[in-house]
Amino acid sequence: MAKTAIVTGSSRGIGKEIAIRLAKEGYNVAVIARGSADDTAAEISALGVKAKAYKCDVSNSAEVDSVVSEISQEFGSVDVLVNNAGITKDGLFVRMKEEDFDAVIAVNLKGTYNFTRAAAPIMMKQRSGRIISISSIVGLQGNAGQANYAASKAGIIGLTKSVARELAPRGVTVNAIAPGFIETDMTAVLSDKVKEAMLDVIPMKRYGQVEDIANCVAFLASDNASYITGQVISVDGGMHM
């Protein structure tokens, strides 16, 4: 029976590329998004695997529990969970609104907690599974104007390492990926000046592509990574060493 992957925030950008890549590896895919992700699910289905879109607010634990239970019943298993859903609400810390801090923590960190908590018991019972959470280089080194985002992504790293220790005896690996500057819709809005400054601090002198992150996810989800857990893999062209 084909394995099943859940990818949150997969209607576009990095999440969509991850979902497509896992489909190409033969996984059935549950596409999770706050809005409609039917187009992504249809694109994945065309690759010859089962795919279905689910609307879900990752910060709402009741919605998450319901969706994961439904996926488990419809697909028969939950073998890979990719916690990718994320938002930004940037601003200097001293001016940052409390609601902007709370919103980013709720989606990025609490959302990762919610899906991990819902999927972990299923994987533990199967005695196999892969949990892969998308952190950020900002969670490793911080960034001015992104205290909320950095806190959420650093929190994902701490969560990953702790849960990895708990689930390892049950054959479930838990890892994080820390992307650097990846060309997506989220980064497209940045000014040329900011983009040029970023390029100056990337030793490889190029921006990352969504495929770079999807390739790393595919590796961590595979049998080739069965002895890797509790790790944070930077995919950033050497920005953070």
Catalytic annotation, residues: 149
Are 238 and 199 a contacting pair, CB within 8 Å?
Answer: no
Are 132 and 81 a contacting pair, CB within 8 Å?
Answer: yes
Taken in order 143, 179, 105, 44, the sign of the CA dihedral is: positive
Q: How many CB atoms lie within 10 A of CB 46?
A: 10
Tokens found for residue 54: 């689910």
DSSP state at residue 108: I
20-24, Cβ contacts within 8 angstroms, sequence gap of 24 or more: 20/44, 20/47, 20/214, 21/211, 21/214, 21/215, 21/217, 21/218, 22/80, 22/82, 22/214, 22/217, 22/218, 22/221, 23/47, 23/49, 23/51
CB contact burial 108-144 (16+ within 10 A = b; e otherwise): bbbbbbbbbebbbebbbeeeebbbbbbbbbbbbeeee
